[in-house]
Amino acid sequence: MRHSPFDGLTWLNPPAESRIRDDHLHIRTGLKTDFWQRTYYGFQPDSGHFLHRPWSGDFTLETTFVGRYETLYDQAGLMVRHDETTWMKCGIELTDGAKHFSVVATRGHSDWSAFRIDHDFEAMSVRVTRNGDALFIQYRTDAMADWRMARLAYFPPALSDVSVGIMACSPQREGFEAAFTDFRLGPPASRDIH
């Protein structure tokens, strides 16, 4: 029997539709789904789709995905989560009419950073490495040879037990479609950030 890299993972807020086809996980989001805590907007949605497993201690987590980004804030990528007020999500988000690499680090209040990816690409790969109190976030498109640094974010070291996995949200609509081609999780790849 063939195993999928998504076997054994559990949904927080299952999407409107999810299925494995050709070894890829295909997701279609529900209506107005998101993860955010307070900052600027004041709201606290915790309705985004998160397919995860538990992990304790340091790790490197990677995935590759494609998405049909059509509406403001359509997003897909990775998430590291302790609870609804302490988490990090990262990946591609549609804003200002273009694909941006987006990172939201949340400890009670959400902190959003985003930068536009100016070259054309189909697939995005994202890697998160946890070392102690830090999450090192990297990205690579199918048009790039090397991983690039997106952010080095603080994550409370006392919170060693977390859930890690893939996420997708569509804060302005329903029906955003994303497909994840893999899910890799293991010991930290490296402490080197240069």
Q: Could you report the per-residue pLDDT of 48-82, keeping only the tens digit for each?
A: 999 999 999 999 999 999 999 999 999 999 999 99
For residue 76, the tally of other CB atoms under 10 A from its CB is 29
Q: What are the C-alpha distances in Å from 84 to residues 12, 70, 80, 163, 193? A: 11, 27, 11, 11, 29
**pTM of the predicted model as reported, rounded to 2 decimal places:** 0.96
| Three-class secondary structure of residue 102 per DSSP | strand
Question: What pLDDT is attached to residue 1?
Answer: 58
- The CATH code for residues 10-186 is 2.60.120.200
Q: What is the CA radius of gyration of the chain?
A: 15
- For the sheet containing 161-169, what is the strand order? 10-12, 49-56, 161-169, 75-83, 86-95, 98-107, 109-116
Question: What pLDDT is attached to residue 2?
Answer: 66
Average pLDDT for consecutive 10-residue bins of the chain (194 residues)? 86 97 96 97 97 98 98 98 98 97 98 96 97 97 94 96 98 98 93 75
Closest of 155, 158, 152 to residue 127, by C-alpha: 152
Domain assignments of the chain as residue spans, ordered by start: 10-186
Residue 91, CA atoms < 13 Å, CB-side half-sphere: 29
Question: What pLDDT is attached to residue 191?
Answer: 76
Question: What pLDDT is attached to residue 190?
Answer: 80
Question: What pLDDT is attached to residue 193?
Answer: 74
